[in-house]
Chains A and B, each alone.
Chain A
Amino acid sequence: MTTSSSRPRIDPIAPHLRWDVLTPTDIERIHEATLRTLEDVGIRFPSDTALDVLASGGGLVDRGTQMVRLPRQVVLDALAQAPREYVLAGRDPACDMSIDLQHCYLSNDGSGVFVQDPRSGEKRPSTKADAAESARFVDALPSISYYWGPVVTSRDMPPATRALHDAEAVLTSTGKHFQTVTTVGEKPARYLIEMAAAIVGGTDALRKRPIISFMQCAVDPLAHDGPNLEANIVAAEHGLAAGFMPMPLAAGTGPATMAGNLVVNQAEALSGVVLLQLVNPGVPCFIAAAPSVIDLQTGGYTGGSPEDYLLAAACTQLAHYYGLPIAMGTMATGAKEPGWQAAVDDSLSTVASVMSWADMMNGCGLLDGSKILSYPHMVMETEIYRIVQKMAGGIVVDDETLALDVIADVGPNGTYLGEKHTRRHMKEIWRPQVWDRAPYDVWVREGRRGAFEKAVEMADEILATHEPPPLPVDVLAELRAIVDRADLELGGS
């Protein structure tokens, strides 16, 4: 398997159907409540650089508490400057993504720390080799449009520069866009940008073909993390897209009611947009979200619940109300194996994200609440994505699809199999990759191979054969040298 295949390199969803979980009145109320929270309660920005930017941009800064209250007009002005559309480029131009509020792009899930053996079910700590292998795997699957993360981190590398080792592994192993979620702090961010610039031919070229973007987690409720802020500030300075992902857990780090949870989520995400627009007006940015509910039995993250998918759809509606793209936590089941629970979580979560038109969806491949990488699970999740893709397309009704002339030609009791119209449209019929449709006796005769067994085979095939687009040797050497320098400077070695 190589990248020379005639298949598209990425296969985003252009949904036709849309479901709205909030009414226009609901949206206005949440919008007003968010502005009130930003103005009256404020957000903590534990970074002097961020506080300087916000103070000069009209924020009411308390240096002692690092809290910033954002007047309504400051927020609205910043939102007005954020672009509605932009391109997130791939190292391979065939993997460019048009972020335009009209398409849904799936990524892998990220920040896992274990890899599961599909045959024994045993897990082991992830390594830099796993980060590279996961990127090569994602590169092979058209349903996954970009690489988010890393899927699993390089736990065999020093913590101070682990994100840069992750990046080296990823950038050399996939031609798809790379959105980092582990690069924190000003210096690591600058090193990562240097690496990306080395690939595309400099920082100016990187602005034109941004093959990387940044996402950082917020600290719920109503706060950011200092190194995360500083990394995104560096990204914005270089014209690279960035966003912040709040993850308020209803009844824990957010109100127990979904509307209140949305207010906290929006306040955190919009405060990040304000910061980025003040750093570099007009810079591409996005809202991110992975809202959930506390598990009332364990106090932990649920990794899937009805509230999750309602909140996901609501967050997407709110982001699009502002004309902002959104990266939405999608799939990421809490199940430990790709069985019944995983399929329920993944199906409903994907439907919610796609039917509300989430621009970026993070993502597939991890089990146990985003901790354990399973390649067969990733394949099975792309099958769910493909089903939802077909459903979201709705039913096209026009002269060609109504096919009245063909119906008249075939007449009663005829067959459509030999018709040109059938041949024209056969390719549109959804075909499974791992879905079992064999007659029962065949299924028994063939050893009862289900979706998982087929996914294991498909994963093995990809890992054995797929070759990502290569980087020139001198670029590989340059990336290595940059990471070596970072190790020396940041204490990584």
Chain B
Amino acid sequence: MSAGIHLELLPAAEVDELRADVLARLGERASATEAALQRAPGGWTMGGRAAEPWPFGDGTALVAGGPAAAVRDRDASAARPLLAADATAFCRLAGALPEVRVVAPPAVQPDAGCGNEGGEAAGSRRARLSGLAAGFAATGKHLLATVADVAEAQAAVDMGAAVMGGGGRLRERPPLSVAVMPSADGAVAACAAAESGVPVLVSGAPAEASRAELVATLAGALPVVVAVQEAAPGSPVGLLLRVPGGGSLDAAALSLTAAAAQVARAFGLPLCAAALATRASEPGWLASAECTAATLTAWLAGVAGLAGAGSLDGGAAVSLVKLALDAETASYVAAGQTGVKVDDETLALDVIEKVGIGGNYLGEKHTRRHMPDVWRPRFFDRTPYEQWLREDRRESVDLAAAFVDRVLAQQSGGSEQPVESLDPAIVAELDAIVSHAAPPATRT
């Protein structure tokens, strides 16, 4: 874990016991599992098509999105199918938010005007790969692609190789990771990705927030980790924990997340938690209360990746405004995790003596030196009440919506450097890979 404030939910003895229970559940495979875990790295360098490499597993990385198939527009009464333009907008926004380190592109649904409506399932291979293609074009950050089988994994790998300029470059600096289910298909897909140098996250979805389910979930995921290490020893592999039972992010679910992070660490595996996939249907008080608690829990527990930023409806839909707000919350929490630095400079006894009783620190050089350290919000309203009334009672969601509009109106977004656009030839190559792996359904 990185420096900062951490909280151990479980005593060490209980973590050891949980670890032992997971291994016991694997029976004869326990010793092979322990050997494989020895080979798995606890963290690795994560690159992007255009992003600087950074150490995954050191601190908590915010992961935007997930394989949602719907989008919630602001003020819309219902979610609507997510189209290619929505995926592009979501990934561009994620690229522009400095707090987001990894982007999980949503699944693109068939456009009603394209003549292929009705022929593709919302969560189809084509939908996911089309989202991945949109992600590569829209942001240079690291992408997380959900893949169902080896063909899909291979297509994702091929797309990564295409944007990086070949398999060698892909292995050297993989711009994507893949998430797989803990199944036979998932294991084969994971091995294909790992053999190409692409990091793997093995998903687990506990049926409920209980100890028994945590043990079962981890025991279900570890055989895939073993398979990956046998196929490509030393390759990066971690765990991805989904919200228990697809339910609320309540105290039990958050406790499970914190406990899972501790046990995963005991296995030497980084853990991502999709703890921002609130069941709320709008980015309001409920979503905020759930996601703030989830974000703080993830940071305190040393979770490597906090996934689901921008998600609503339990991960079934994405919202650009929610993504911006989740990033703000992550920034808020991360600022607090730096802790309180205590040394001669920060104690400032000479300044306290100089300012004395009833004075003001505003004009002091010491204040000017440290002012940049103070956290500044983007979407928190701190205006006087009367001004707030005059300005149409703008809330955080309004400020975030305006920010989203500004980012999308610009060629490049926010604080991110302009993303080098993909060569049209590469875009065509990505489209070809998608079409080859998942031909569009035809009108029936």
Contacts and interface: CB of A to CB of B under 8 A. Distances in A.
Nearest to B322: A340
A340 B7 contact: no
B300 A67 contact: no
B340 A259 contact: yes
B348 A340 contact: no
Interface in B380-400: 380-385, 388, 393, 395-397
A67 B379 CA distance: 43
A395 B255 contact: yes
A339 B381 CA distance: 11
B357 A340 contact: no
A462 B174 CA distance: 58
Given A255-B367, A351-B296, A41 B357 contact: yes
Contacts of B367: 251, 255-256
Contacts of B280: 436
Nearest to A401: B211
Contact of B254 (A342, A368, A391): A391
Contacts of A43: 357
B361 interface: yes
A407 interface: yes
Interface residues of A, number: 99
Contact of B362 (A121, A251, A314, A388): A251
Contact of A351 (B283, B293, B351, B362): B293
Interface stretch (B54-62, B218-226, B330-338, B414-422): B330-338
B436 interface: no
A29 to B, nearest CB: 5
B9 A394 contact: yes
Interface string B398-423: 00000000000000000000000000
A371 interface: yes
A241 to B, nearest CB: 27
A388 B251 CA distance: 7
Interface stretch (B145-153, B176-184, B197-205, B369-377): B369-377
Nearest to A434: B286
Interface string B273-312: 0000001111111111100110011001000000000000
Contact of A255 (B288, B325, B351): B351
Contacts of A17: 7, 9
A430 B342 contact: no
Which residue, of A33, A256, A384, has the highest number of chain B Cβ atoms within 10 A? A256
A201 B297 CA distance: 49
A102 B251 CA distance: 21
Contact of B340 (A258, A430, A436, A443): A258
B329 interface: yes
Given A387-B289, A440-B313, A397 B340 contact: no
B248 interface: yes
Contacts of A304: 380
Contacts of A236: none
Nearest to B8: A17
Given A30-B347, A351-B293, A344 B332 contact: yes
A450 B285 contact: yes
B289 A252 contact: no
Given A259-B342, A348-B332, A387-B289, A340 B283 contact: yes
Contact of A256 (B288, B325, B336, B370): B370
B347 A263 contact: yes
A384 to B, nearest CB: 6
Contacts of B345: 257
Interface in B72-90: 78
Interface residues of B, number: 86
Contacts of A295: 382
B10 A307 contact: no
Given A256-B361, A341-B381, A371-B385, A26 B340 contact: yes
B382 A303 contact: yes
Contacts of A321: none
B7 A437 contact: no
B360 interface: yes
A330 interface: no
A13 interface: no
Contacts of A25: 342
A164 interface: no
Interface in A304-328: 304-307, 309-311, 314
B366 A256 contact: yes
Interface in A265-317: 293-298, 300, 302-307, 309-311, 314
Interface in B190-228: 211-212
Interface in A82-103: none
Nearest to B356: A41
Interface of A: 17, 19-22, 25-26, 29-30, 33, 36-37, 40-44, 67, 121, 123, 219, 221-223, 250-260, 262-264, 293-298, 300, 302-307, 309-311, 314, 334-344, 346-348, 351-352, 355, 368, 371-372, 380, 383-384, 387-388, 390-391, 394-395, 397, 402, 407, 429-430, 432, 435-437, 440, 443-444, 450-452
The 7 residue pairs across chains A and B that have the minimum distance between CB atoms: A343-B288, A260-B348, A390-B251, A306-B335, A306-B336, A256-B370, A259-B346
Given A347-B292, A371-B385, A397-B14, 17 more contacts: A19-B300, A21-B339, A37-B349, A41-B352, A121-B393, A221-B352, A222-B358, A256-B367, A258-B341, A295-B382, A302-B382, A307-B336, A307-B375, A341-B379, A344-B288, A344-B332, A452-B284
